Structure 1
Amino acid sequence: MAEITASLVKELRERTGAGMMECKKALTENGGDIDAAAEWLRKQGLAKADKKASRIAADGRIAVAAEGGKAVLVEINSETDFVAKDGNFLAFAETVAKAALASGAADVEALKNVKLASGETVEEARAAVVAKVGENVQVRRMARVDSAHHVAAYVHGGRIGVLVELKGGDAELAKGIAMHVAAMNPPYVKASDVPAEFLAKEKEIELAKMSEKDKAKPAEILEKIISGKLNKIVSENTLYGQPYVLDTNQSVEAVLKAAGAEVLAVRRLAVGEGIEKKEDDFAAEVMKQAGLA
């Protein structure tokens, strides 16, 4: 069994929103396995969701370039927020986004070899920025949409970027949907996109949370109860099922239907998602340098 440390309990609490004692108990019950503990807490009704996937742990900027039915997003990372606001970094990010759009590069590896107006490649320009700002700078990810339909590109605060391809409707609606995706980050577009494995796991969790009295109800009634809960979960996790942020009295699906529109593609990048940033223990570092640890 893994050691139940304070940092492990803290991590589980941040992931699930459950109380400190509940997290400690969950880890003890599951041999220190944090993933199993997170699921155990959900089954006990003590956690709403696992926040691990949405944890942001790096700095940088999402740069955008768009023209007509073409648009790109590029994530460029820095080590600190200070550098992410530096003029050299911002100019580099803007240049790279424009180069990505103009070149038609399909991925980051291809983008690194694209030549800029200066004669440098993107990779050579990146190295020059590193020398200027004194931090590691990386061109990490990109997303692009080329379409004959409406394409909206929206960036919020330089940290979240969204591309939406919309068939039907108009440019204003496409932008509204992009803003919604930036704010709500739905994992799936439509109910049909939700994996069967996800639904099976959610059904298992909902059954585990039910009281013995509810579980004793006739099978057809129990199935209706579970079906209702799953439908709610699907709505919460799909773009079409969520209330539209610009008019919460309607679902996104209703807004699209009224406009005769359909979302064909969604791309969303948030600075640092999926990157685990090392947390420095300054007290331990001082003790180590002083020969006390």
Structure 2
Amino acid sequence: MKKSVSMLLAALMLTGALAGCGSSASGTQAEDGADSGVSGAITVISREDGSGTRGAFIELTGVEEKTADGKKVDNTTADAEIANKTDVVLTSVAGNEKAIGYISLGALNDTVKAVKVDGAEATVDNVKAGAYKLSRPFNIATKGEPTGVAKDFISFILSKEGQAVVTDNKYIAVNDAAESFVSDGSSGQIAVGGSSSVSPVMEKLIEAYKSVNPNASIDLQTSDSTSGMTGAMDGTFAIGMASRELKDEEAAQLTSTAIALDGIAVIVNPANTIDELSMDQIKSIYVGDITDWGDLA
């Protein structure tokens, strides 16, 4: 009986020792992943070719580089998951603890977390002050001088009332001293199309404009910046939208106007405890040099 009790006690002590080792291993694993709160391979989310947000992001972070002959090369990793709209990026990052993505600052919501970039928070004030470096213009473009509803609507966008819509939707106005709008009463229907980043604020601008000029009808079509500029050039759109500067070949055929300034927020899942990344780290993630959250010590 004593022998049986002794064997039982020995077994219990061994079990406790093994459990202690297991706890130690778990603690080490948590400590190793303490920098991000997650561990394992980074899921890189990028926008599609033609996206103005992608174009601005890769240029500003250095993911896009020029070759010796001046050709621009996008070095985004082939392992990146491609999202064709801002909402898709948000959903992808919100649903994946290991994901990282980038979106328009104006589209940021509490389903994801924006990280600081080089110590600066992604805020309107920091973009205005130049402290947050990931920023770009929202442009509209027309082929030739706009007339009718297109001309009247553009006047509204750049007016005091239009720029108030811009700031009310978390974007940055380009004209703080704009004058009040007086419609010329133009009637008819036009199409406006392009960037999915510009589209949310454009939708609000259209709603506000139609309240002061009910004679106008504006059809909003959302795609990407390149499609917006192509549509403006071939006449599909009276007004094209781009969330980037126009390319040389586009600028040669179109007249562009900046309607707002926007930041690009680098976002992670709320479970990720990383609060800040450097521009170099962001580039390294997006070109595929850093592939694991554990490498961001």
Which range, TM-score by smaller chain? Answer: under 0.3
In terms of fraction of residues, the more helix-rich structure is 1
Larger radius of gyration: 2
- Structure showing greater relative contact order (alpha-carbon pairs closer than 8 Å, 6 or more residues apart): 2
TM-score of the two chains, using structure 1 as the length reference: 0.23
TM-score of the two chains, using structure 2 as the length reference: 0.23
